[in-house]
Structures are given as structure tokens and as C-alpha cells.
Amino acid sequence: MERSVLVLAEVKDGKLRNVTFEALTAARRLSEGGRISAALFGQGHQPLAAELAMHGADQVYLAEHAELDRYTPDGYTQALTQLIVHDDPDVILLPHTAIGKDLAPRAAARMGCGLISDCTGLEWKDGEPVFIRPIYAGKAFESRRFAAGKWFVTIRPNNIPVEEHQSSHGCREIPFAVDIKDLRTVVKEVISKSLAGVDLSEAKIVISGGRGVKSAEGFEPLQELADVLGAAVGASRGACDAGYCDYSLQIGQTGKVITPDLYIACGISGAIQHLAGMSNSKVIVAINKDPEAPIFQVADYGIVGDLFEIVPLLTERFREMLA
Ligand code: FAD
């Protein structure tokens, strides 16, 4: 059955986030030959349309409005709902990022539509698409299907392998005029933390430190290993609470939820709240000097020992292998 799908593209620091391409890959499977539209909100994003076309968009809406340059819940909700009324898609896909998590339920409620959030996979059963999503903090997975009407779906980053697929119809760029009024939220200033390195939420490899690193300096060997592997550095709340690192690195129930290909936990005990943020990683390696640490129950590979001895050895070995 053909479906028309609208994907909200997400731009960060002038670049499309990789999860946008994952959403377009999902859109192509879901559409079963139907029309795929992408939307770029904000000014000056037209040069990015070609990349959306390369990943399967048949048309790209350019909603160039000054109020869309920065995310505000009411500005984006107004723009997205106006676009949905205009485009009339069957399915609306958003990245399951801070923006998507906030926007999708608002827009879905405003339009009286269903929402399947935080999807990590898409399968077919009896000819119908079925979305896979983690529940109970990643301890189990459930399958959700569409009922009648339009549906919103959010896609968790790093779960759907990106495929390039140029639209066979060519890609149209369509300016879309939005009418934004009565904004209740005004962003006056954005103060960004200057965190160098790989974006944690989309990193393929994450090296994480817990209270076992013992100090801010204790993160240095982890950063060195991350640099060699092109990885991001993450942390447990224990390490953040102890002041060893910034809270923006926190992984878990009250931090970031990530799904890298490889997660290396160093000096992290494996509390349930931490596992909620990383237990769906494809391969988990744990380094802990306590053989009874619960992290070993979810680890694919466990190293019992002192992280300050093991991490530098790993760095040295990877440096040789990758030279
Ligand atoms: P610890 O539990 O103290 O573990 C440190 C580990 O380091 C130990 O296992 C120890 O054996 C090992 N170690 C020590 N020295 C070395 C060494 N030299 N080499 C190797 N291993 C060593 N936690 C999160 O992480 N993320 C969350 O989002 C989160 N949300 C929470 C929400 C709520 C409502 C609550 C109540 C708690 C939350 N927590 C969260 C906290 C969580 O319960 C744990 O307290 C926290 O994860 C523990 O951090 P840790 O593993 O770094 O520290």
C-alpha cells in the first residue's frame, strides 16, 4: 500500500543530523513507492536540500521564517501543523532528539493523530508495517502498528542503517510560507557549551566513565582512547554528581539515551538508571575491578581490573592497529 511520508529534517550547526537520513531511509521503506517529502525549518538551509534528495526525498519544503531559526515549541508546532494540512501526508517522521521528543506529541495532539515514539526498528507483519520500540527502560521491546488516520513516528538515532537512494522523480524544492503568531516562548539567547569532539547522541563508539575514574583528570585516559577510536566520551550520573565531568555527558534514565555500535563502560557499576541509557548498544564492554559489578550482566565482553591500567593498554593497542 502506497503511503505519503513527511520527514522533518533536523539541522545542527549548519549540517543535517545523521538521524534525518535514518528517518528518510525508514520513510522510503514505509512509503512503498508513495511520495516522500522532507521539511527544512529556518532560514538559509536551501543548500541542504540536495542531501535530502540523495537520501530519497521527492520534494523538500523550505519554511524560511526567522521564528524557525531556533526551536520553540509553539513556533515549530504551528509551522509543522500548517505544513501537514498543506501536504496531507499519511505518516510524519521526526528524529527522536530533544526537538522531536518535544514537538511530536504536541503536533500529534494538536492534529488529533496517533504517535509511536522512540522507534528503533521497522518490520513487516501480514503486509503491514510494525514499529519496534523499547519499553521498561530497554528491558523489553514492543511492536506497534498504525490504526486508521495519520500517524506520527519518532526514530531513535543510530538504529536504522542509512541508505542512499536518489528519488527517481528528481527532487522539487518548494518554498512554504508559514504564518507564526502569538509566540509564548521567545528565545533571547543561546549559550552553547563548547564541548569539543564527537556528538554523543549520534556517536558510533562511546567511552564512558563512572565514579571509578575518581577525578576530572581521571577522564583524560578515556578521552585519549576516544580520540584514537573517533569516539565520544560519556559518563554515569555518579561521575557527573561527583563533579568529574559536565552533566551534558550523562547517560541514563535522566541523561541521554544512546545506541552506539560499541559502548565501553569504565568504572561504572551498572545501576538500572544507567542501563536505561545504554543497554541497547550493539556491543558493550565493561571494565571494572569488582567482578560482581552488575554492569557485567549486560556486557558482551568484561574485563575485571583497574581501568587506569587497562584503558592505556587498549589505547596503545588500537593506536598500533589503526596506524
Ligand atoms: P558507582 O555505583 O559508585 O560505581 C563505581 C564503579 O567503579 C564500581 O563498580 C567500582 O567497582 C568501579 N571502580 C572503582 N575504581 C575502579 C578502577 N580503578 N577501575 C575499574 N573500576 C573501578 N545514573 C546514571 O548513570 N544515569 C542516569 O541517568 C541516572 N538517573 C538516575 C535517576 C534517578 C531517579 C536515580 C535515583 C538515580 C539515577 N542515577 C543515574 C544514579 C544511579 O542510581 C547510580 O547511582 C549511578 O549510575 C552510579 O554511578 P557509577 O556507576 O559511576 O558509580
Q: Determine what percent of the chain is predicted with pLDDT higher than 90.
A: 86
Q: How far is the CA of 238 from the centre of ligand 1 (A)?
A: 5
Tell me the C-alpha to C-alpha distance, in Å, between residue 58 and each of 55, 83, 169, 173, 175. 9, 16, 7, 9, 14
Q: Quote the cell numbers at residue 145.
A: 502498528
Alpha carbons within 13 angstroms on the beta-carbon side of residue 52 total 31
Tell me, yes or no, if the pTM score tops 0.95: no
Confidence label for 194 from pLDDT (cuts 50, 70 and 90)? low
pLDDT of residue 195: 62
Q: Is the pLDDT of residue 286 over 70?
A: yes
Alpha carbons within 13 angstroms on the beta-carbon side of residue 213 total 30
Q: How far is the CA of 182 from the centre of ligand 1 (A)?
A: 44
Identify the H or E element spanning 116. strand 114-119
Q: Is 1 exposed, middle or buried (0-12, 13-18, 19+ CB in 10 A)?
A: exposed
Confidence label for 90 from pLDDT (cuts 50, 70 and 90)? very high
Greatest Cα pair distance, the chain, in angstroms, is 60
Three-state DSSP string of 223-248: HHHHHHHCCEEEECHHHHHCCCCCHH
pLDDT of residue 269: 98
For the segment 261-274, the average pLDDT, to the nearest whole number, is 97
Q: Determine what percent of the chain is predicted with pLDDT higher than 70.
A: 98
Q: Is the pLDDT of residue 192 over 80?
A: no
Q: How far is the CA of 240 from the centre of ligand 1 (A)?
A: 10
DSSP 15-55: EE-HHHHHHHHHHHHHHTTS-EEEEEESTT-GGGHHHHHHT
pLDDT of residue 100: 97
Which protein residue has the closest C-alpha to ligand 1 atom 20?
288
Confidence label for 202 from pLDDT (cuts 50, 70 and 90)? confident
**DSSP code for 6:** E
Tell me the C-alpha to C-alpha distance, in Å, between residue 213 and each of 6, 268, 269, 286, 297. 45, 9, 12, 13, 21
Pocket of ligand 1 (CB under 6 A): 210-212, 236-239, 250-255, 267-269, 271, 273-274, 277, 287-290, 293, 306-308
**Mean of the per-residue pLDDT values of the chain:** 94
**DSSP code for 294:** T
Q: Is the pLDDT of residue 317 over 80?
A: yes
Q: Is the pLDDT of residue 2 over 80?
A: yes
Q: How far is the CA of 274 from the centre of ligand 1 (A)?
A: 7
Q: Taking Cα atoms as reference points, which of 195, 267, 279 lies closest to residue 235?
A: 267
Which protein residue has the closest C-alpha to ligand 1 atom 41?
237
pLDDT of residue 169: 67
pLDDT of residue 147: 87
pLDDT of residue 48: 97
pLDDT of residue 149: 87
Tell me the C-alpha to C-alpha distance, in Å, between residue 294 and each of 114, 120, 270, 279. 37, 25, 5, 12
Q: What is the pLDDT of residues 17-67, one digit of tens each?
A: 999 999 999 999 999 999 999 999 999 999 999 999 999 999 999 999 999
Least confident of 183-192, 210-219, 230-239, 300-309: 183-192
- ipTM given for this complex: 0.99
Least confident of 9-23, 32-46, 129-143: 129-143
Cα–Cα dist 20/100, whole Å: 11
Q: Taking Cα atoms as reference points, which of 244, 301, 243, 253 lies closest to residue 274?
A: 253
pLDDT of residue 164: 81
Q: Is the pLDDT of residue 168 over 80?
A: no
Q: Is the pLDDT of residue 165 over 90?
A: no
For the segment 193-217, the average pLDDT, to the nearest whole number, is 88
Bridge partners (DSSP) of residue 122 are: 131
Give yes or no for a contact between 35 and 58, defined as CB atoms under 8 angstroms apart: yes
Q: What is the pLDDT of residues 212-238, one digit of tens each?
A: 999 999 999 999 999 999 999 999 999
